Amino acid sequence: MSDAALHERINTEQSLFINGRWSESASGRRFPVFNPATGQVVAHVSDGDAADARRAVDAAYAAFPQWSRLPAYRRGVMLRQAAALMYERRDELARTLTLEMGKPIREARGEISYAASFLEWFAGEGERAYGDIIPPMAPGKRHLVLKQPVGVVAAITPWNFPAAMVTRKVAPALAAGCTVVLKPAEQTPLTAMALMDIFAEAGVPPGVINLVTTNDPAAVADAWLSDHRVRKITFTGSTEVGKLLMRKAADQVKRVSLELGGHAPVIVFDDADVDKAVRGTMASKFRNSGQTCVCANRIYVQKGIYERFAEKFTAAVRNLRVGDGLSEDAEVGPLVDEAALEKVTAHVEDAVARGAELLAGGRRVTEGELARGWFFLPTVLAGVRDDMRIMREETFGPVAPLIPFEHEAEAYERANDSPYGLAAYVFTENISRGIRAAERLEYGIIGLNDGTPSTAQVPFGGFKESGIGREGGPYGIHEFLEVKLVGLAVDEEPR
């Protein structure tokens, strides 16, 4: 598809998808969506408000009885069909995704496949949402445990995975028999819009999934949080907003699942295979220009291997090709917006001002075509200390701080010294040390010699302030199911 055709297709002012139909917002207001590689506007979309949010809940609430009673197998057929359509349109979806958030097109294609895999996996998990029959305490009793969908689910998603964060929530919710109202991030509504078309074409009935795009996320979220018909909030985004939503959800004791921020440590032990460690750390750090919640944020390297690791890692970082995500050979794209660029710049400036040494990068791209966009050079910092901002706050950019350490116990202690607990990575060829590390680290995801551990089949989620609940794997669907006891009193057999 040419860029002109793509623009025409997505340049829509009717971006609310409610009860199976596209519409404008009640206010008629719109907001722009930017291409981070050029700073140009690529579309204007509807700016939904509280009235639109309520209309979406009306539709989801009305659709719930029929959808929840449909056999899980029938829901699964539709989810598998939606996945098939995503694979079929992978290139087109990937271009839309890159256009609005900037990631390299090869990564965007990977994300579309990853996103589709949640639909396939949860289609099957819906069919296997078994209940239990529990042996009774007393002769006249029987105990049945049913798993039932929680009801209308409100899903709020971030911009960094505009397709996968949607399907990682929507697939288990729909498979469980819930209906959904979805609010994508204001930076990336277009991919979510394309997914609505796919669900409709796959046969998902009107009202089962609804989309409200908005530039005022709090207004839409508040409308959902104060609506008794919405039974669950599932959110991926920053810890700050997650806490806000959790507080508000408390008023009606709504179910919450939160996938929040991270500050992932990488520990490279002396006995690591240095090439494997460099490859794994590069994958964790520079994927999506460092804008993932599981990105390496603190790279602890044991003294005996530090020099070799720093040299090879820095050489690999200098080799990364920075470019417009739409160009086939780009390896690192732009940051999502101006605010992201300012935050990354501030973290690097703070570290350098406090004595860190720049081994690569360290600044915004100011030459040539890329100067128009929000590009930051892949950066390596040495001599990083614990009092620097970069060691405490999520940088969300292509900046790798290297920190030497001496002893194993010191590495665990420093790695665990964080309010976050999402992902941690360990590189070692010593199996006992690997197991010890996996057990000692207070993180929900451990990559052991593995820079990219997540797939649809496994649990994803954090300890501490990184969240509540798990997405993916058999665990993912339980977040959308209520457990109901049916206690039966059975009469004695007549004599």
Tell me if 171 contacts ligand NAD by CB under 6 A. Answer: no
Active-site annotation holder among 111, 178, 186, 293: 293
Tell me if 236 contacts ligand NAD by CB under 6 A. Answer: yes
Pick from 120, 259, 324, 408: which binds ligand NAD (CB under 6 A)? Answer: 259
Residues in 395-424 at the binding interface with ligand NAD, rule: CB under 6 A: 422
Residues in 187-226 at the binding interface with ligand NAD, rule: CB under 6 A: 217-218, 221
**Nearest distance from residue 471's CB to ligand NAD, in Å?**
7
Residues in contact with 4: Cβ distance below 8 Å, sequence separation at least 6, in sequence order: none
Residues in contact with 26: Cβ distance below 8 Å, sequence separation at least 6, in sequence order: 48, 49, 51, 52, 55
State which residue, 33 or 382, has the beta carbon closest to ligand NAD: 33
**What distance separates the 2 farthest-apart alpha carbons in the chain?**
94
State yes or no: is 413 an active-site residue: no
Alpha carbons 445 and 264: distance in angstroms, whole number? 10
Tell me if 100 contacts ligand NAD by CB under 6 A. Answer: no
Q: What binding mask, one character per residue, do residues 306-345 give for ligand NAD by CB under 6 A, x or -?
A: ----------------------------------------
Tell me if 293 contacts ligand NAD by CB under 6 A. Answer: yes
State which residue, 428 or 454, has the beta carbon closest to ligand NAD: 454
Residues 291, 297, 300, CA angle at the centre, nearest 5°? Answer: 155
Tell me if 186 contacts ligand NAD by CB under 6 A. Answer: yes
Tell me if 244 contacts ligand NAD by CB under 6 A. Answer: yes
State yes or no: is 482 an active-site residue: no
Alpha carbons 401 and 389: distance in angstroms, whole number? 11
Pick from 394, 408, 465, 479: which binds ligand NAD (CB under 6 A)? Answer: 394
On whether the CB atoms of residues 446 and 416 are closer than 8 A, the answer is no
Among candidate residues 74, 334, 102, the one with its CA nearest the CA of residue 203: 74
Tell me if 241 contacts ligand NAD by CB under 6 A. Answer: yes
**Nearest distance from residue 397's CB to ligand NAD, in Å?**
12
Pick from 157, 234, 395, 428: which binds ligand NAD (CB under 6 A)? Answer: 157
Under DSSP, the state recorded for 406 is: -
Task: Give strand ranges (E) for 150-295.
Answer: 152-156, 179-183, 209-211, 230-236, 255-259, 264-268
- Number of residues forming the site for ligand NAD (CB under 6 A): 27
Q: What Cα–Cα distance (Å) separates residue 55 from each residue in 50, 249, 260?
A: 9, 20, 28
DSSP per-residue string spanning 90-155:
HHHHHHHHHHHH---HHHHHHHHHHHHHHHHHHHHHHHT---EEEPPSSTTEEEEEEEEE--EEEE
On whether the CB atoms of residues 446 and 280 are closer than 8 A, the answer is no
What residues act catalytically? 259, 293
The site for ligand NAD (CB under 6 A) is made up of 156-160, 165, 183, 185-186, 217-218, 221, 236-238, 241, 244-245, 259-262, 293, 394, 422, 462, 467
